[in-house]
C-alpha cells in the first residue's frame, strides 16, 4: 500500500475500536461535569506515579511527556469556560484557548524540524524513522496553521445540561488544514502510531464538530488527545513495533512528500483566503472575528442560546 504496509483485518477492527472509544469518552466528558473532573483531573493524578515508575521505556520521549500534560492542561482550562463564568468576568482568560492550541502546534513544529535537522534514520525513541525535505515543508505548514488561528474573542459556553465550549470563528477549512498537517506530522515524526494517533485521533475530534456538536472541535481535540496520550503513557508498547496491533507506515518518501505538500497547499490556500478577508473587511485578527458572514459561523453562533429556556425553567422551579 502507498501510505501503510499490509493492514490485517484485526488491525482494521482495532482502528474502529480506538476511534469508537475516543468518540465515546469525548461524549461522556461532554455530558457530565463530574465525568470531566474524573477523566482530566483524578485519572491523571492516579496514573502519574505509574508513568514515573516505568522509567525510560524507549518508546516515550520528552515530547510524549510534554504532550500529555499540555493536552490535559487544555482540557482543564476549557472546563473552566464550560462550567463557570470566570471567562465572562475576566476576558483575558479566553486568550488561553488559542495559546494552548498554539503551544501544541509549536511543540510539533519543533519536533518536525528536529527530525529533519538531525536526520533521523533507523530506530530513534523506539520508532523507525526516515527524514527528508518533507519535514521542513510540513514544519512551514504548521507555522502557517498556527499564525492563522483567529476569532477566539467569540468563544462561549453553551447553557443547559450539556455544556460545550464553542468557537464559531474556527472554520471548517482551518480544521481540515490542521487535520492534514497533523496527520502528516505524525506520519513523519511518530510513525509507529500514525495509523491510530494520526488518522483515528484526528477524525475522532473532527466528526462530532462537523456533524452533531458543531463548533466544538477545539474542545474535542484537547479531550481526545488527552485520552490518547494517557493510554500511550500507560501502555507504551501496545501499538509499538512488534505488537500485534502495530501498523507500519510504508516508509515511502513519496508518501511523506504527498502528505507534506497537501498540508502546505491547504494552509497556503487558507492563508490567502484569510488575509484577503482581513484586508478587504479591515479586520484586526487579534481582536475581531474574521468569518462572521459565513453560513458555518452563523449556524455555530446560534448555539449561544442553546439550552437557555431549559436553564430558565430550572431557575423558576428552584
pLDDT tens digit sequence for 212-238: 999 999 999 999 999 999 998 888 878
Asked if residue 62 has pLDDT above 90, the reply is no
**Strand pairing of 127-129 and 122-124?**
antiparallel
C-alpha cell, 50: 505509574
**pLDDT digits over 285-300, tens only?**
888 999 999 999 999 9
C-alpha cell, 139: 514544519
Residue in the block written with cell 485521533: 201
pLDDT band at 318 (very low <50, low <70, confident <90, very high): very low
pTM: 0.89
Asked if residue 144 has pLDDT above 50, the reply is yes
Contact 115, 189 (CB under 8 A): yes
* Average pLDDT of span 90-119: 92
Contact 191, 129 (CB under 8 A): yes
Contact 26, 208 (CB under 8 A): yes
**Which pLDDT does position 310 carry in this prediction?**
47
Asked if residue 241 has pLDDT above 80, the reply is no
Q: In angstroms, rounded to a whole number, what is the distance separating the alpha carbons of residues 183 and 148?
A: 18
pLDDT band at 270 (very low <50, low <70, confident <90, very high): very high
Concatenated DSSP letters of 146-171: HHT---GGG-EE--SSS--EE-TTS-
Q: What mean pLDDT value characterizes the chain?
A: 89
Asked if residue 105 has pLDDT above 90, the reply is yes
Which has the closest alpha carbon to 193: 150, 249, 153, 140? Answer: 249
Contact 149, 218 (CB under 8 A): no
DSSP-derived letter for residue 215 is: T
pLDDT band at 312 (very low <50, low <70, confident <90, very high): very low
The dihedrals phi and psi of 165, each to the nearest 5 degrees, come to: -90, 120
**Which pLDDT does position 298 carry in this prediction?**
92
**CA 207: distance to chain centroid?**
12
Residue in the block written with cell 516505568: 54
Asked if residue 164 has pLDDT above 50, the reply is yes
C-alpha cell, 300: 455555530
**pLDDT digits over 5-41, tens only?**
889 999 999 999 999 999 999 999 999 999 999 999 9
| Helical (H) or strand (E) element with 124 | strand 122-124
Asked if residue 258 has pLDDT above 70, the reply is yes
Residue 155: C-alpha distances to residues 102, 209, 301 (Å): 16, 15, 9
Contact 189, 109 (CB under 8 A): no
Asked if residue 303 has pLDDT above 90, the reply is no
| Helical (H) or strand (E) element with 122 | strand 122-124
Amino acid at each position: 500500500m502507498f501510505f501503510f504496509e499490509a493492514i490485517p483485518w484485526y488491525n482494521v477492527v482495532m482502528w474502529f475500536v480506538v476511534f469508537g472509544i475516543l468518540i465515546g469518552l469525548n461524549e461522556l466528558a461532554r455530558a457530565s461535569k463530574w465525568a470531566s473532573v474524573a477523566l482530566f483531573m483524578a485519572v491523571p493524578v492516579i496514573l502519574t506515579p505509574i508513568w514515573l515508575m516505568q522509567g525510560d521505556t524507549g518508546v516515550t520521549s520528552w515530547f510524549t511527556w510534554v504532550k500529555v500534560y499540555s493536552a490535559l492542561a487544555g482540557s482543564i482550562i476549557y472546563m473552566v469556560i464550560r462550567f463557570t463564568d470566570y471567562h465572562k468576568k475576566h476576558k483575558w482568560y479566553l486568550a488561553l484557548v488559542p495559546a494552548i492550541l498554539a503551544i501544541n502546534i509549536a511543540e510539533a513544529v519543533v519536533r518536525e524540524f528536529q527530525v529533519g535537522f538531525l536526520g533521523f534514520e533507523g530506530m530513534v525513541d523506539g520508532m523507525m524513522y526516515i527524514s527528508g525535505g518533507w519535514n521542513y515543508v510540513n514544519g512551514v505548514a504548521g507555522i502557517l496553521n498556527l499564525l492563522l488561528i483567529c476569532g477566539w474573542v467569540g468563544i462561549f459556553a453553551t447553557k443547559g445540561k450539556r455544556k460545550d465550549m464553542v468557537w464559531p470563528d474556527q472554520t471548517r477549512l482551518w480544521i481540515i488544514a490542521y487535520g492534514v498537517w497533523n496527520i502528516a506530522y505524525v506520519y513523519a515524526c511518530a510513525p509507529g502510531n500514525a495509523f491510530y494517533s494520526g488518522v483515528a485521533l484526528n477524525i475522532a475530534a473532527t466528526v462530532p464538530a462537523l456533524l452533531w456538536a458543531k463548533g466544538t472541535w477545539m474542545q474535542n481535540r484537547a479531550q481526545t488527545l488527552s485520552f490518547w496520550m494517557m493510554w500511550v503513557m500507560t501502555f507504551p508498547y501496545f501499538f509499538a513495533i512488534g505488537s500485534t496491533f502495530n501498523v507500519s507506515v510504508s516508509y515511502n518518501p513519496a508518501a511523506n512528500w504527498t502528505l507534506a505538500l497537501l498540508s502546505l497547499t491547504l494552509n497556503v490556500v487558507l492563508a490567502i483566503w484569510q488575509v484577503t478577508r482581513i484586508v478587504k473587511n479591515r479586520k484586526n485578527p487579534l481582536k475581531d472575528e474574521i468569518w462572521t458572514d459565513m453560513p458555518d459561523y452563523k449556524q455555530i453562533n446560534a448555539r449561544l442560546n442553546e439550552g437557555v429556556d431549559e436553564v430558565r425553567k430550572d431557575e423558576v422551579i428552584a
